[in-house]
Amino acid sequence: MADKSLSQRIHSKKARVGIIGMGYVGLPLARQFAHAGFETIGFDIDESKVRQLNAGRSYIKHIPNSQIKDLLKSGRFLASADMSRLRQTDAALVCVPTPLDRMREPDMTYVVGTTETVAKYLRKGQLIVLESTTYPGTTREVVLPILEDGGKRVERDFFLAYSPEREDPGREDYTTATTPKLVGGIGPKSTRLARLLYEQVIRTVVPVDSCEVAEAAKIVENVYRCVNIAMVNELKLLFDRMGIDVWAVIRAASTKPFGYQPFYPGPGLGGHCIPIDPFYLSWKARQYDHPTRFIELAGQINTAMPEYVVGRIADALNERRKPLWGSKILILGLAYKKNVDDIRESPSIVLIEMLRDRGAKVDYNDPHVARTHKQREHDLKMRSKPLSESMIGSYDAVVIATDHSAYDYDWIVRHAKLVIDTRNATAGVRTGRRKIVKA
């Protein structure tokens, strides 16, 4: 029996694991499997990433070069762009992007293309697991038909499950190994095998009734955050007009030990999850003629935040008899959140483009992002500017877009002409507060 043979190989750690997509999700997962004793192949179509990994170099800040070198020395990890080697694997885990297109509808190009590649090399007894965040029904409606097109049948010849990634780059209290892992299979054999595989590397594995439940659970996690962040962003706009500090309000509300969880406003949403994933559910809901008003409204509020910040910058400059057109503006922080090098969907990028469109001369500094790279929708072609007293003072406004811990905010405020703080990073600054404008 194919399932029993695979089960034995997993138990004995003789199963070879292939992970497709060596990004912020796939690379940490490959590290876990290799550390646990599994021979692991990290697949990626980007040959530059493959070369860097095989040379012992990491391109992700929170995974140091030393860890990649240790993996290579163990002999249990290698990176490859040769997808034909998928036939050598016992389990193939798919960790590819699921972006939105220009119409804010799911772009399944990567999932479909990767599944077609897997299907080309699919052999009897393999376990395929989709980890990419997507709408409920993707595994059964999109992935399964492609895999079965060659005549092989799920639960008999191969096994298929969905297990959503829960990576949070830069987080220190939870790791890949300690974050509970959901697993939902197409059938009972698939669920059992996927659970068994992940139990070798993840401390807590939670099986659920189906792949649809696992897909929906991941979406719910991010809808929850999206809606609550939108609520506090909307309150920020209101309290700003009322002359009330929203950050002081949140601190006060947080003293209640039950019935309240603090969420924090910002210049917009960033990262690979919250700005994108909820819209996968709202798109799917339209197929059932069911509106998702909370999701749509939350999206409208959150995507409008960069416009609000630009307005606050313009107002602050205007009060100092300086027009936005022609002003020199420095953006502090290009990453979408503090202490990481991840710029996916970062509101800082949108801010820079909006400010440029309005005639401002814009630079950025980020200790974790030395230069920008081409993205699907953006190509800033910029390099991080080194900070100095004279450099800070040469800008008409300094905008704190990401509150990295590496920044000395007292020093920044002391030498800047004007500071626009979108993250409450200057809360502890005591001198020069007249220069600070909250946004």
pTM of the model: 0.91
- How many CA atoms, within 13 angstroms, populate the side-chain half-sphere of residue 124? 7
Is the pLDDT at 273 greater than 80? The verdict is no
Across 291-295, average pLDDT: 90
Question: Picking from 91-95, 138-142, 335-339, which range would have the lowest pLDDT averaged per residue?
Answer: 335-339
Query: Residue type for 275, please?
Result: P
The domains located in the chain, with CATH, are 2-209 (3.40.50.720), 235-438 (3.40.50.720)
Residue 1: the pLDDT is: 74
Question: Picking from 17-26, 247-256, 273-282, 323-332, which range would have the lowest pLDDT averaged per residue?
Answer: 273-282
In sequence order, what are the beta bridge partners of 207? 183
Encoded tokens for 148: 């079965």
* pLDDT tens-digit map of 296-318: 899 899 999 999 999 999 999 99
Q: Terminal CA-to-CA distance of the chain, rounded, Å? A: 62
Rounded to an integer, what distance in angstroms lies between the CA atom of residue 138 and that of residue 210? 12
* pLDDT tens-digit map of 121-177: 999 999 999 999 999 999 999 999 999 999 999 999 999 999 999 988 878 889 999
Contact 53, 42 (CB under 8 A): yes
Rounded to an integer, what distance in angstroms lies between the CA atom of residue 343 and that of residue 373? 9
* pLDDT tens-digit map of 365-423: 999 999 998 877 788 889 999 999 999 999 999 999 999 999 999 999 999 999 999 99
Is the pLDDT at 77 greater than 90? The verdict is yes
Residue 156: the pLDDT is: 96
Rounded to an integer, what distance in angstroms lies between the CA atom of residue 424 and that of residue 403? 8
Residue 244: the pLDDT is: 96
Residue 281: the pLDDT is: 87
* Three state DSSP letters for the chain: CHHHHHHHHHHCCCCCEEEECCCCCHHHHHHHHHHCCCCEEEECCCHHHHHHHHCCCCCCCCCCHHHHHHHHHHCCEEEECCHHHHHHCCEEEECCCCCECCCCCECCHHHHHHHHHHHHHCCCCCEEEECCCCCCCHHHHHHHHHHHCCCCCECCCEEEEECCCCCCCCCCCCCCCCCCEEEEECCHHHHHHHHHHHHCCCCCEEECCCHHHHHHHHHHHHHHHHHHHHHHHHHHHHHHHHCCCHHHHHHHHCCCCCCCCCCCCCCCCCCCCCCCHHHHHHHHHHHCCCCCHHHHHHHHHHHCHHHHHHHHHHHHHHHCCCCCCCCEEEEECCCCCCCCCCCCCCHHHHHHHHHHHCCCEEEEECCCCCECCCCCCCCCCCECCCCCHHHHHCCCEEEECCCCCCCCHHHHHHHCCCEEECCCCCCCCCCCHHHEEEC
Name the catalytic one among 95, 211, 226, 273: 273
Contact 275, 345 (CB under 8 A): yes
* pLDDT tens-digit map of 240-256: 999 999 999 999 999 99
273 among known catalytic residues = yes
Rounded to an integer, what distance in angstroms lies between the CA atom of residue 400 and that of residue 419? 7
Residue 194: the pLDDT is: 98
Is the pLDDT at 34 greater than 80? The verdict is yes
